[in-house]
Amino acid sequence: MPVYAAPVKDASFVLFDMINIEKYANLPGFADASPDLVRSVLDEAAKFVEGVLQPLNRTGDIVGCVRNADATVTTPPGFKDAYDKFCEGGWGTLSADPEYGGQGLPHMLASVFEEFAISANMSFSLYPFLTQGAVAAMMAVGSDEQKRKYIPNMVSGRWTGTMNLTEPHCGTDLGLLRTRAEPQEDGTYKITGTKIFISAGEHDLAENIIHLVLAKRAGAPDNVKGISLFIVPKVLVNEDGSLGARNAVSCGSIEHKMGLHGNATCVMNYDGATGYLIGEAEKGLNAMFIMMNAARLGVGLQGLGVSEVAYQNAVAYAKDRVQGKAIDRSTPADVRADPIIVHPDVRRMLMDMRCFNEGARALTLWGALQVDLAHRAATEEERQKADDLISLLTPVIKGVLTDKGYENATWAQQCLGGHGYVEEWGMSQFVRDARIAQIYEGTNGVQAMDLVGRKLPKDGGKLIRGYFETLQGFLAEAKADARLKDFVGPLEKGLGDLQGATMWLMQNAFANPNNAGAAAYAYMNLLGLVSLGHMWTWMAQSAYAKLDQGAEDKAFYETKLLTGRYYMNRHMPDTHGWRAKVEAGAELMMAMPADAF
């Protein structure tokens, strides 16, 4: 049975010692997030995910979701009860708007909880977290009436939400979509079409499901400029808020997937279902991107969350399994075999996972702070700066963290040898679950193109220049502390590679857009390495500060420094290879005629 202990201490280190949440007490909601409250929320969160969600994770994989003959879907045993506890605990309300039943706490705090919940049970976590994505879109573009009608019940968890984009013939290229919206005399629409890969499209956890559906209104342009967004409730909601008639939307089948079995991925059939336009007509994609951006940060957390739980299980096995003697003969000679954690190659895998997890946690929380700042900071300038930063980093957090999440789940499985390949140990599930995060909410190739094709050129390169300034400012300060030289040196070198690669793109991508496409994935990885290097240098600075203050738990901070040094020493040199791939250009990649493949 896999183990999991929520990394409360590590998350607290990022929140308090590194980012210093108390510095932001002037922001709305942050004053309520006193150190005591945050600590107690994290402790309760740990108890909840460890005690309620994690024990259901294997069952979810083995039993999966079942679509019944009447098109209802039964979630795995225990999920309904756990969902009720989730709602009772108010876990979906943490950072939601108090006007709609939320607690208004920092998004940063909700992100910590989200990571924990994903580690414990990724399949389960999707039900409430997709609801939050739907709420984000509705908050952004919905009318007051729509917000009042739907959001309080979605925040409380009484109802869940979905996003319906993909159709059998289109996913990335939504301009091709065929779902139609016929206007009715009463101002509503009849929605007709088939959507696929709809996570949590049908289930038995909540009394209603609010589908957000992309469709084209009759007469609208048959391309991306003709897409509108509609609210299509599974059960229609009466004026007084009570539930009315069942809407003409149903689950046609559920997908048989590689993993994520506990989450129902549905084919959804809309047969003239009643839908309500939300936001401006023909501007549906804008609203969907709001949802998508929030969701992409959540998917990045999935990469981290699975990597963390997989790592913990690899550690447990590596300490327990005895096999072979330490090659440096440092262990007692009369013991026949040592725990495999003594072997350097096992250490390599564990340290690689560990240094990524801690770096990625810092990055996701720093990213979450930008989301908070973009919404809550006092001045437009501060809000814009934060928005620029998180816009730039969103594809990196989604793309790099999920690629590494899968890779790390694979390494963790590798630590168990043959036992890792056998389903009983649960390591295979981590790999199979982690895999989807590289694909959905825009494949990681799409993330890379979003970064290079959209975010880099935006406003004449303002986003990346802002990022460089942030890093240069940080480096100038960090350099003052000679103890940080093992951090500052590699970070400067990595930043140099990133700047060189950026320059190359500026000079070569306008003339030949294929150069942007060919470089995109490498550039995303390069930016990811540097961002994690930035996080580690910052964490090291914070750890030294705590040691200087005579912190009690010296070992904790020293371990932090060691893990960081390992990252800077082993992983930062990879910026060289990624930069070479950026600068290799598109020519050889694109030269072959398609039929030669």
Q: Which amino acid is at 225?
A: K
Give the HSE-up count for residue 51: Cα atoms under 13 Å, Cβ half-sphere: 8
Exposed e or buried b per residue across 353-372, where buried means at least 16 C-beta atoms within 10 angstroms of its C-beta: bbbbbbbbbbbbbbbbbbbb
Residues 6+ apart with CB under 8 A from 149: 237, 241
Residue numbers 214-253 binding a second copy by CB under 8 A: 223
Which of these ranges, 51-59, 111-119, 254-262, 283-291, lies near a second copy under the rule CB under 8 A? 254-262
Residue with tokens 């309620």: 52
Residues 6+ apart with CB under 8 A from 405: 302, 303, 304, 305, 306, 307, 434, 437
| Among the listed residues 66, 378, 506, 589, the single contact to a second copy using CB under 8 A | 589
| Among the listed residues 39, 190, 458, 570, the single contact to a second copy using CB under 8 A | 570
Of 209, 199, 117, 81, which is closest to residue 154 (Cα–Cα)?
A: 209
521 binds a second copy (CB under 8 A): yes
Write down the least CB distance from residue 511 to a second copy, Å: 10
Which of these ranges, 68-76, 131-139, 169-177, 472-480, lies near a second copy under the rule CB under 8 A? 169-177
Residues 6+ apart with CB under 8 A from 35: 16, 21, 22
Query: CA 448, CA 518: separation in Å to the nearest integer?
Result: 10
Write down the least CB distance from residue 117 to a second copy, Å: 21
Q: Which is nearer to a second copy, 83 or 521 (CB)?
A: 521
Write down the least CB distance from residue 576 to a second copy, Å: 5
50 binds a second copy (CB under 8 A): no
Q: Which is nearer to a second copy, 473 or 577 (CB)?
A: 577
Write down the least CB distance from residue 342 to a second copy, Å: 7
Length of the chain: 597
Q: Which is nearer to a second copy, 105 or 529 (CB)?
A: 529
551 binds a second copy (CB under 8 A): no
Q: Are 267 and 255 in contact (CB under 8 A)?
A: yes
Q: Which is nearer to a second copy, 245 or 588 (CB)?
A: 588
57 binds a second copy (CB under 8 A): no
Of 67, 14, 7, which is closest to residue 43 (Cα–Cα)?
A: 7
Q: Which is nearer to a second copy, 86 or 197 (CB)?
A: 197
Write down the least CB distance from residue 563 to a second copy, Å: 8
Q: Are 16 and 34 in contact (CB under 8 A)?
A: no
Q: Which amino acid is at 543?
A: A
580 binds a second copy (CB under 8 A): yes
Residue numbers 322-361 binding a second copy by CB under 8 A: 323-324, 327-328, 336-337, 339, 341-351, 354
Which of these ranges, 25-33, 132-140, 295-303, 422-430, lies near a second copy under the rule CB under 8 A? 422-430
| Among the listed residues 80, 383, 493, 581, the single contact to a second copy using CB under 8 A | 581
Query: CA 427, CA 423: separation in Å to the nearest integer?
Result: 7
Write down the least CB distance from residue 577 to a second copy, Å: 5
Query: CA 136, CA 283: separation in Å to the nearest integer?
Result: 16
Give the Å distances, CA to CA, from 548 to 479, 544, 545, 557.
17, 6, 5, 11
Cα angle value 457/590/503 (rounded, 5°): 30
Q: Are 308 and 50 in contact (CB under 8 A)?
A: no
Q: Which is nearer to a second copy, 137 or 436 (CB)?
A: 436
Question: Would residue 44 show up in a list of annotated catalytic residues for this protein?
Answer: no
577 binds a second copy (CB under 8 A): yes
Residues 6+ apart with CB under 8 A from 25: 31
Write down the least CB distance from residue 415 to a second copy, Å: 9
Cα angle value 325/331/333 (rounded, 5°): 75
Q: Are 439 and 464 in contact (CB under 8 A)?
A: no
Site string for a second copy, 80-119 (x = CB under 8 A): ----------------------------------------
Of 368, 440, 412, which is closest to residue 126 (Cα–Cα)?
A: 440
Residue numbers 284-323 binding a second copy by CB under 8 A: 315, 318-319, 323
Residues 6+ apart with CB under 8 A from 488: 475, 478, 479, 537
Which of these ranges, 148-156, 285-293, 376-384, 566-574, lies near a second copy under the rule CB under 8 A? 566-574
Write down the least CB distance from residue 17 to a second copy, Å: 18
Q: Which is nearer to a second copy, 37 or 422 (CB)?
A: 422
480 binds a second copy (CB under 8 A): no
| Among the listed residues 514, 544, 545, 547, the single contact to a second copy using CB under 8 A | 514
Which of these ranges, 279-287, 382-390, 432-440, 533-541, lies near a second copy under the rule CB under 8 A? 432-440
554 binds a second copy (CB under 8 A): no
**Burial bucket for residue 126 (CB in 10 Å: 0-12, 13-18, 19+):** buried
Query: CA 24, CA 365: separation in Å to the nearest integer?
Result: 14
188 binds a second copy (CB under 8 A): no
256 binds a second copy (CB under 8 A): yes
496 binds a second copy (CB under 8 A): no
Give the HSE-up count for residue 234: Cα atoms under 13 Å, Cβ half-sphere: 21
590 binds a second copy (CB under 8 A): yes
Write down the least CB distance from residue 584 to a second copy, Å: 5
Write down the least CB distance from residue 155 to a second copy, Å: 29
Query: CA 537, CA 478: separation in Å to the nearest integer?
Result: 8
Which of these ranges, 233-241, 284-292, 371-379, 440-448, lies near a second copy under the rule CB under 8 A? 440-448
Q: Are 91 and 106 in contact (CB under 8 A)?
A: no
Query: CA 127, CA 123: separation in Å to the nearest integer?
Result: 8
Query: CA 501, CA 509: separation in Å to the nearest integer?
Result: 11
Task: Please tell me which residue in 50, 441, 558, 587 is annotated as part of the active site.
Answer: 441
499 binds a second copy (CB under 8 A): no
Q: Which is nearer to a second copy, 220 or 439 (CB)?
A: 439
| Among the listed residues 393, 448, 478, 539, the single contact to a second copy using CB under 8 A | 448
Q: Which is nearer to a second copy, 218 or 258 (CB)?
A: 258
Which of these ranges, 25-33, 298-306, 365-373, 439-447, lies near a second copy under the rule CB under 8 A? 439-447
| Residues marked as catalytic | 441
